Amino acid sequence: MTPTLTPPPETVAPPAADERCDRCNAAGKLRITLAGGSELVFCGHHANKYAEDLVKITVKYASDPEFSWRGADLMAN
């Protein structure tokens, strides 16, 4: 049996270059994980537009290194 390396369950990868926003199909900049384990990807515009609502349902998140999500500050509070 060959061991397989898997990331820890708390790890969330930022959106890949080819992933698109679930709202408008623009390039994905933010990936959020919901309590049930589902994931959503948003472009920068929609991630920041809905930041106040997204932080209420987000368990974990990861963003593109060049993207500054407004919800990150809200999640810290």
38-68 residue pLDDT tens = 999 999 999 999 999 999 999 999 999 999 9
Residue spans of alpha helices (H) in the chain: 44-49, 51-57, 71-76
Q: Which residue has the higher pLDDT, 51 or 2?
A: 51
For 8-17, what is each residue's pLDDT tens digit? 545 678 888 8
**Residue 58 confidence (pLDDT):** 96
* Spatial distance between the Cα atoms of 61 and 55, rounded to a whole number of angstroms: 9
The residue extents of the domains of the chain are 30-72
